[in-house]
Each structure stands twice: as C-alpha cells, then as structure tokens.
C-alpha cells in the first residue's frame, strides 16, 4: 500500500520530467515536417495531416475493432509468456543444473530471428490467431525467462541463512526476503517482454493474417495510403510509449530502488 502511494506521489513530477523528452520528440516532428516539404505528400505526409487522419481513424468503429483484435492477440501471447517465463525462470534459478542447461536453449530462442518463427508458425498453424500468438510467445518468453532466472540466481545467500536461522515462517521468508529482490529483476523483464510482444504482434499480423492493425498496415501499403500507414505507426508507437512510460516506468523505478 505504502509502495503504491509513493508511486502515486511521485507521479506528477515523473510526468513533468517527460517534458524534455516531449521537446525532443517535437523537434523530430519538425524534421519530419521538413521531410514532407522536400519529398512531397505521397512519400511522407505532413505530421499535421497524419495526426488528423489518426483522429478520424480513432472515431471509426472498424479501426477500433482492428485495434481490439491486435490487443487481444498481444495480451494472450504476452500473458502466456509472462506466466510460463516467470514460473520456469524462477524454477530454473533455484537449481544450478537447470539454469546451466537452460542457458544455451534460451540463447537459441533469442538468436533465432522472429521472421523465421513466423514462417514456421504459418506452416504449423496456418493463417490465423495461433500463428500470431505463437510468434509473440516465442519472442517474449526468453526475455521474461532470463529476468526471472537472474532474479533467483542473484539472491543473497547470507540473507537466506539469516532467514533460516531466525526460523522465519515460509510466508515471511517469501514476501519479505525473496520477493522484493526477485521482483526487482522480474518486473523490468516483463516491461522488456511487453515491448517485444507489441512489436512482434504487428509484424506477425502484417505477414500472416487478414485482420488486426498489422493487416491494416499491409492494406495501407498496397493502396499507397501513406497517411493511414503513418497514422497506424503513430498508434503503435503512442500506445507502446503510453504503456511503457506512463504506466510501467514509474513502477519500475520504485521497484529498482531495491537493487543497490
């Protein structure tokens, strides 16, 4: 409770500290506007036109339905890799042998390009929800897994001994000794995994499905509708920035204070 209150208390100053970032984004948009004036509307629509298209799109029910589809796929995929990755990672972290064994496998998972996974998933699952969800899981699972693994591997041995010698009950041992430390590793991994899930879901949709934001992007491309394409890109970036910076980053900051 105290923790949540502190996050809320620091939230206004956190938001205010984003002004510098907003300034540099606006400078970038000015550069974009200059690009529009040099290369013309077809190649690069003006930022103002893009934002106007975006506003129109957000009032359109069919576009909202596409966003909903994409959100559904991303959250199912990310949810599964969050649960699996955290559970398996924690488990692997408690056993030295298991963590030694899992390392090379994780390296393979991380090293394999997502585009290759999409091709395989299209052969295995066909064109549909499963392909997208599978790709999301494969891409974000290793990130969460490694975070959880690190969290348990780096637990302070002396603290463990202390908890044992004082005969802490199991719930105290878990919530007061292990949990804060592990959470400070797991939570940032979740944030990283979510970012990955959000990027991969669009790519998978673009290649493997006929609905969702990714598919809308493919349609916009084939119709040379650059304002819509850019508006979709803005939706993706803005939603990711909103989730990452407005919701998760304040929590992450507080959580990471545990780590010295």
Partner 1 sequence: MKHEEEEKPQILRATNHYLYYPDEKDIPPYLAYGFRPVFVLLAPYMIISMVLWGLVWSGTINIPFMDNILVWHVYEMLFGILGIGVLAFLSTGLPELFPGLVPLVGKRLKYVVLLWIAGRLSFWFIDITGVYLAALLNLSMLGWLIWFARRAVLDKLQRHASLGYALLALLIIEAWFFASMAGVASTAPMDILKIGLGGHVVLILLALRRVNMEAVNELMEDKGIDDVYISRPPLTNLAIFSVIVFTVVEFLYPNNSALGWLGLASGAAVLAITNDYILKDKFILNQPYVIYLALIFVMIGAGYALMGYAILMTEYTGISHFRHFITSGGFGLAYLMVMIIIGWIHTGRHLTSNIYTHTMIALILLATLMRGSIPFFEEYAHELYLYSAIVWALPFMIYIKVFFNFLVSPRADGIKG
The alpha carbon of residue 158 and the mean position of all alpha carbons in its chain are separated, in whole angstroms, by 34
164 belongs to the binding site for partner 1 (CB under 8 A): no
Nearer to partner 1, 16 or 166 (CB): 16
151 belongs to the binding site for partner 1 (CB under 8 A): no
5 belongs to the binding site for partner 1 (CB under 8 A): no
Q: Which two tokens stand for residue 59?
A: 């009032």
260 belongs to the binding site for partner 1 (CB under 8 A): no
Nearer to partner 1, 12 or 104 (CB): 12
CB of 15 to partner 1, least distance (A): 11
Among 2, 5, 13, 170, binds partner 1 (CB under 8 A): 13
238 belongs to the binding site for partner 1 (CB under 8 A): no
249 belongs to the binding site for partner 1 (CB under 8 A): no
List the one residue out of 39, 145, 129 whose CA is nearest residue 88.
145
27 belongs to the binding site for partner 1 (CB under 8 A): yes
How far CA 83 is from CA of 109, 152, 190, in Å, comes to 17, 16, 10
Nearer to partner 1, 23 or 101 (CB): 23
x/- mask, partner 1, residues 33-72, rule CB under 8 A, reads xx--x--------xxx------------------------
Nearer to partner 1, 22 or 42 (CB): 22
Q: Which two tokens stand for residue 238?
A: 């803005």
List the one residue out of 35, 60, 31 whose CA is nearest residue 45.
35
Q: What's the burial of 92, exposed, middle or buried (CB within 10 Å: 0-12/13-18/19+)?
A: buried
How far CA 26 is from CA of 48, 122, 142, 240, in Å, comes to 12, 40, 35, 18
30 belongs to the binding site for partner 1 (CB under 8 A): yes
Tell me 70's DSSP state: H
User: What's 187-236 look like in SS3?
Assistant: HHHHHHHHHHHHHHHHHHHHHHCCCCHHHHHHHHHHCCCHHHHHHHHHHH
Task: Report the site for partner 1 in 212-231 (rule: CB under 8 A).
Answer: none
80 belongs to the binding site for partner 1 (CB under 8 A): no
Among 2, 5, 24, 167, binds partner 1 (CB under 8 A): 24
Q: Are 50 and 35 in contact (CB under 8 A)?
A: no
Rg (CA), the chain: 22
CB of 240 to partner 1, least distance (A): 20
Q: Give the residues lining the site for partner 1 (CB under 8 A).
A: 13, 16-17, 19-20, 22-24, 26-27, 29-31, 33-34, 37, 46-48
């Amino acid at each position: 409770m105290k923790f949540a209150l502190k996050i809320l208390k620091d939230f206004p100053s956190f938001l205010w500290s984003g002004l510098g970032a907003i300034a540099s984004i606006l400078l970038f948009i000015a550069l974009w506007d200059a690009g529009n004036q040099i290369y013309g509307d077809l190649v690069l629509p003006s930022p103002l036109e893009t934002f106007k298209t975006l506003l129109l799109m957000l009032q359109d029910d069919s576009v909202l339905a596409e966003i909903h589809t994409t959100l559904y796929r991303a959250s199912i995929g990310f949810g599964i890799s969050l649960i699996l990755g955290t559970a398996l990672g924690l488990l692997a972290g408690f056993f030295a042998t298991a963590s030694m064994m899992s390392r090379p496998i994780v390296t393979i998972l991380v090293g394999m390009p997502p585009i290759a996974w999409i091709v395989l998933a299209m052969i295995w699952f066909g064109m549909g929800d499963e392909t997208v969800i599978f790709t999301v899981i494969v891409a974000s699972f290793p990130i969460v897994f490694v975070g959880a693994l690190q969290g348990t591997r780096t637990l302070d041995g002396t603290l463990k001994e202390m908890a044992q010698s004082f005969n802490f009950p199991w719930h105290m041992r878990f919530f007061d000794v292990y949990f804060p430390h592990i959470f400070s590793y797991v939570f940032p991994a979740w944030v990283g995994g979510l970012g990955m899930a959000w990027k991969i879901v669009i790519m998978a949709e673009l290649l493997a499905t006929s609905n969702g934001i990714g598919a809308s992007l493919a349609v916009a491309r084939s119709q040379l509708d650059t304002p819509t394409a850019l508006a979709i890109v803005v939706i993706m970036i803005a939603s990711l920035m909103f989730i990452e910076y407005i919701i998760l980053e304040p929590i992450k900051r507080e959580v990471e204070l545990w780590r010295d």
